[in-house]
Structure 1
Amino acid sequence: MGIRPGESVAILGPGARGILMTQICKAMGAGPVIITGVSRDEKFRLKTALELGADYAINVEKEDLQSKIDEITDGKGLDVVLENTGAVEPILQSIDIVRKGGRICWAGGGIVEGVVAPVDTYKIIVKELDIKGEISQVPYDWLAAIKLVASGKINLKPLVTHEFELEQWNDAFELAATSPEVLRVAIKP
Structure 2
Amino acid sequence: MLTTVGDLLRDITAKDRGVHYAVLLNGDGQRISSCTFMETVLNKDFQLVINDVTHNVRSFGQGPSHEHVSGVDDVKYMVRLLHAALTLPQRQHAKHSELLMKQEELKEQLKPLETVKVQMAKDAHSKASMLGWVGLAYLSLQGGFLGYLTWYVFEWDTMEPVTYFITYTTSMIFFAYYMLTRQDFACPDVRDRQFLHFFYRSASSEV
Query: TM-score of the superposition, structure 1-length normalised?
Result: 0.17
Which is bigger in relative contact order (C-alpha 8 A, separation at least 6)? 1
Larger Rg: 2
- Greater fraction of residues in helix: 2
Indicate the structure with greater strand content.
1
